[in-house]
Chain A
Amino acid sequence: MMTADKIKELIETVDRVSLIDAFVADKNGTLSGKIKVKSGGNVHDTEWSVKISPTYPFRLMDMEPIHFINSALIDYSHIMENGSLCKHPAEYENPEEQFVHDLGQLIEWIDEYYIKEKKDEHYEHLVVNHNLIRDQYFTYCFAETQEEFENEDYGFVSYANIAQGRKNKKEILNFVVQKFTSTKQVRKIENPCRISRAYLNLESNYGIYCLLKEAPSAHNKFIIKDFDSLKDLFSQSQKDFIHTFEKQYRNKIQYFPLFCGYKLPDGSIHWQAMVLHMDDLPIEPFHIGTGRNRVWHTDFKSGKIPWCQTEDISYKYFFGRGAMPQELADKKILIMGVGAIGSTIAESLTRCGAKRITVYDIDDKEPGNVCRSAYPFYSGITEKTQDIIDALQRISPHVECDSLKSLLDVVVKKIAAEEKDMQFIAKLFNAYDVIFDCTTDNQLMRVIDNSGITAQVINLSITNYAQDLVCAFSPNITETVRLIYKVLNRDTESDLYNPTGCWAPTFKASFNDIACKVQFALKHIIRMLSEQEPRENFYVTEDETNLIINRL
């Protein structure tokens, strides 16, 4: 535990740092004092108030346990609104070492950002505090739009509700922006966000957007907090439009978002929303001219701006932390058979950034499917295709999903039985770039082989207990699959799971048994489809310690 004496002792060991005001503890145990750090040369020395938490060196609720504060330095990089230095220190086991290291980091910042006035190259969004607005939190997600915006553009924002959340026992209202409709010109121009149709088609609410003259920033890093500082960034037409909107929606809605847009250094538009309540709008009328020449306009009243959390969910940010190669994400993917393997593939590809997924299955989802596939119980008994599409759309606003009707099975098998028009089957499947056949339907597998499909088909199946996973690429899938099953020589008849009722026995394996092999296989498949690894048929086995890929 840190004490004032120990701090004094430690400060004396650190070059360039000296104590100005001795540290004292308040009733909560927080130690406060003041130090000076020499800059050297002709640069002024800096003085810092220091606050040390009684939990030091432990972080509490992700908050740093030590603060170095100097409000006069707010214009410098990494100095927060309250004047404290934002830092991410290395962790030490004992408080003494930690304190000396923290002082070292402070000196490092002074040398780099104060003396040399370094500016970081990467752009950081304006800091916005997400406060409660009438006892609720509001969050809005937007994505890049299909078209660019005119300067000082303004108009309607269409946005839809998504699920509610909770934070600190308060409700979070979550919304996703669907489109911007410009009313700057006489003809309205719609500019939808680049998100899936599923989100664009949700029921819409309406708000306002205004593209500001410049970023609403204070000290180049914090958002402006009051309307007085903000109002000059709006054009008069934009401010007048807020009143127009109010007239149109008065008594129809309780609140609406006002999206303030500004250009980022890379040319893209960032939006920051505030929530305005109809019964207390921060606008007031004023007029210019007199008599018959008098014209009324709108301006903001003084007051604090009710900013709310606004997130850019454009594809590049949504999948910024990790995705499969873009070339593969852009492909049209068909997943046939969305059982244990197919549903996991569908979910994984969606989380990896897939943009177009079609699913096909002839079965309904039953409660018994949930334990080893990507389905929730909550959605009840329903068509597997519908359930997985719902799940995928909930995961990603960037995946377009649809399904092939189960009638496909009838059509394909009928054509195959009559041995004619196989080109029709090929044409049907060639509408896709990549097809995962997870149906385990041996007849369908043979039909696909014989139809001359040029799309890349990947056939996946597992043996009982998910002991092995078999992956065969087109062409000639059937012979490869048959060969691998012969090589594996697993007992396929005994110890299967027999559901109650007149059902075909099924295999036994847990979600973990299956998913670990599916993910391992999918990692290689993604690499193979992206030409990062030679494309070869393979099967996955395991020994006591490893999953093993066996290539053909």
Chain B
Amino acid sequence: MNKNNHLKEVLDTHKMYHVQDFVDKVKNRREEIKEKMYNHYGNKKYQAFDSGSFAKHTAINVKFDLDLVEPFKHSTFGTLQEMFDDVYDFLVEEYKNTGVSIRKQKVSIGITFPIEKGDDKPVELDIVPGRELNDDDYPETNDLNLYFNEDHWGFTKGTSQKTNIQKQIDHIKGKNDEREIIRLLKIWKKQKEKKYKSFVIELTVIKAFEDYNGDTDLWSRLKFAMEYLRDNIADSSFHLYDPGNTNNDVVSSMSDFDRQSFKTDMESMLNNIDRDPDTYLPYYFKVNEKYSDGYKEKNSGTVYPNSPKRFG
């Protein structure tokens, strides 16, 4: 099989334009919320902006986030918890009796709209409230403090963390080659229901390609990223600093077991693909059959026995 053609088909069948109608619905809802927030908070906050995998161009059509960041002025709330609770209370009140579900999440407020006829899933959005660090410094720094509503990433409920979502988005801007590899690994993560954080994948892949001068074809790049993960992710001297806050080592919040598991996953995948690519590459990186146009790379996709004769 031609590994590159297969991987290209995997990427193509996971592109967002296949679900454009649904994306538009989400975007419309996001605009609706932006407007409500602006009307309510006015000049107590700065202009909202989009984040999440859609903003970073790493979204795949089986899993994507259209998050909305709401930067508040420092003087608006006494505490970060007040900010978090106030936004939650406002949204609850605003969508009262509409069938919209609002819930407090780790650093965001999740909104789920009622599922519409013909859709597989409901429109879901995450609103991330943040507060500038000091009076009027946001326009210059873009720094925000986020509130941790649950234990998350090594932080405990009730604490906060400085970050800069704009810098996070800028960090991946223009990195098209890296984004393809990030999307492939996210497709694998989603298909195999792996719990590793997308942010870790994103930062590792970008770091891996900092000095890359190898072959530019998809498989060579994917293999390089997987080897990089295999060789580094479980190493205690390996660090991944959040571009939004260089004091925050994102990989240190992963448990040793998760880091070791990630390494072993990469090891097994590389070994098996190397041994039998025709069988294993389509197993680890599956085409999204829903949006496949029927074209199949010759010999790709293994013909399995439907009901293997098993004993026990």
Interface string of A192-229 (1 = CB under 8 A from B): 00000000000000000000000000000000000000
Q: Which residues of A contact B295 (CB under 8 A)?
A: none
Cβ of A460 within 8 Å of any chain B Cβ, yes or no, is yes
Cβ of A464 within 8 Å of any chain B Cβ, yes or no, is yes
Given contacts A461-B310, A464-B311, contact A531 B268 (CB under 8 A): no
Is there an interface contact between A479 and B283, defined as CB atoms closer than 8 Å? Answer: yes
Chain A interface mostly: mixed
Interface string of B188-204 (1 = CB under 8 A from A): 00011100000000000
Is there an interface contact between A442 and B310, defined as CB atoms closer than 8 Å? Answer: yes
Q: Which residues of A contact B305 (CB under 8 A)?
A: 482, 485-486
Minimum distance in angstroms from B310 CB to a CB of chain A = 4
> Which A residues between 461 and 485 are near B, CB-CB below 8 angstroms?
461-464, 466, 470, 475-476, 479-483, 485
> Which B residues between 90 and 138 are near A, CB-CB below 8 angstroms?
none
Is there an interface contact between A462 and B312, defined as CB atoms closer than 8 Å? Answer: yes
> Which B residues between 255 and 273 are near A, CB-CB below 8 angstroms?
257, 260-261, 263-265, 268, 272
Is there an interface contact between B312 and A341, defined as CB atoms closer than 8 Å? Answer: yes
Cβ of A26 within 8 Å of any chain B Cβ, yes or no, is no
Q: What's the tally of chain B residues with a CB closer than 8 Å to chain A? A: 26
Q: Which residues of B contact A552 (CB under 8 A)?
A: 268, 272, 280, 283
Output the residue of B192, B303, B306 with the most chain A CB within 10 A: B192
Is there an interface contact between A440 and B279, defined as CB atoms closer than 8 Å? Answer: no
Is there an interface contact between B304 and A482, defined as CB atoms closer than 8 Å? Answer: yes
Minimum distance in angstroms from A186 CB to a CB of chain B = 49
Is there an interface contact between B308 and A462, defined as CB atoms closer than 8 Å? Answer: no
Q: Which of B283, B304, B312 contacts A339 (CB 8 A)?
A: B312
Is there an interface contact between B312 and A442, defined as CB atoms closer than 8 Å? Answer: no
Q: In the complex the two chains form, what is the Cα distance from A181 to B191 in whole Å?
A: 57
Interface string of B289-312 (1 = CB under 8 A from A): 000000000000011111111111
Q: In the complex the two chains form, what is the Cα distance from A439 to B311 in whole Å?
A: 8
Q: In the complex the two chains form, what is the Cα distance from A475 to B272 in whole Å?
A: 20
Q: In the complex the two chains form, what is the Cα distance from A8 to B256 in whole Å?
A: 63
Q: In the complex the two chains form, what is the Cα distance from A534 to B260 in whole Å?
A: 7
Cβ of B211 within 8 Å of any chain A Cβ, yes or no, is no
Cβ of A31 within 8 Å of any chain B Cβ, yes or no, is no
Is there an interface contact between B272 and A440, defined as CB atoms closer than 8 Å? Answer: no
Q: Which of A460, A466, A483, A535 contacts B283 (CB 8 A)?
A: A483
Minimum distance in angstroms from B279 CB to a CB of chain A = 6
Closest to A470 in B: B310
Is there an interface contact between A340 and B312, defined as CB atoms closer than 8 Å? Answer: yes
Closest to A518 in B: B312
Interface string of A429-443 (1 = CB under 8 A from B): 000000000111010
Q: In the complex the two chains form, what is the Cα distance from A479 to B309 in whole Å?
A: 14
Is there an interface contact between B312 and A506, defined as CB atoms closer than 8 Å? Answer: no
Interface string of A315-345 (1 = CB under 8 A from B): 0000000000000000000000101111000
Q: Which residues of B contact A506 (CB under 8 A)?
A: 311
Given contacts A485-B304, A535-B261, A536-B265, contact A439 B312 (CB under 8 A): yes
Closest to B311 in A: A507
Minimum distance in angstroms from B107 CB to a CB of chain A = 24
Cβ of B24 within 8 Å of any chain A Cβ, yes or no, is no
Cβ of A43 within 8 Å of any chain B Cβ, yes or no, is no
Cβ of B215 within 8 Å of any chain A Cβ, yes or no, is no
Is there an interface contact between A486 and B302, defined as CB atoms closer than 8 Å? Answer: yes
Cβ of B276 within 8 Å of any chain A Cβ, yes or no, is yes
Q: Which residues of A contact B191 (CB under 8 A)?
A: 476
Cβ of A545 within 8 Å of any chain B Cβ, yes or no, is no
Q: Which residues of A contact B268 (CB under 8 A)?
A: 536, 551-552
Q: Which residues of A contact B307 (CB under 8 A)?
A: 442
Given contacts A442-B307, A534-B260, A552-B268, contact A486 B279 (CB under 8 A): yes
Minimum distance in angstroms from A402 CB to a CB of chain B = 21
Q: In the complex the two chains form, what is the Cα distance from A113 to B90 in whole Å?
A: 76
Q: Which residues of B contact A290 (CB under 8 A)?
A: none
Q: In the complex the two chains form, what is the Cα distance from A476 to B302 in whole Å?
A: 16
Q: Which residues of B contact A461 (CB under 8 A)?
A: 310-312
Q: Which of B192, B193, B261, B304 contacts A486 (CB 8 A)?
A: B304
Cβ of A493 within 8 Å of any chain B Cβ, yes or no, is yes
Chain B positions within 8 Å of A, measured between CB atoms, are 191-193, 257, 260-261, 263-265, 268, 272, 276, 279-280, 283, 302-312
The 8 closest A-B CB pairs, nearest first, are A492-B309, A485-B308, A482-B304, A461-B310, A534-B261, A507-B311, A534-B264, A341-B312
Chain A positions within 8 Å of B, measured between CB atoms, are 337, 339-342, 438-440, 442, 460-464, 466, 470, 475-476, 479-483, 485-487, 492-493, 506-507, 509, 531, 534-536, 551-552
Q: A462-B310, A479-B304 are in contact. List 15 more A-B contacts (CB 8 A).
A: A340-B312, A341-B312, A440-B310, A440-B312, A442-B306, A442-B308, A461-B310, A462-B311, A481-B310, A483-B304, A485-B309, A485-B310, A492-B309, A507-B311, A552-B268
Can you give 5 A-B contacts (C-beta < 8 A)?
A481-B310, A485-B309, A534-B265, A552-B268, A552-B283
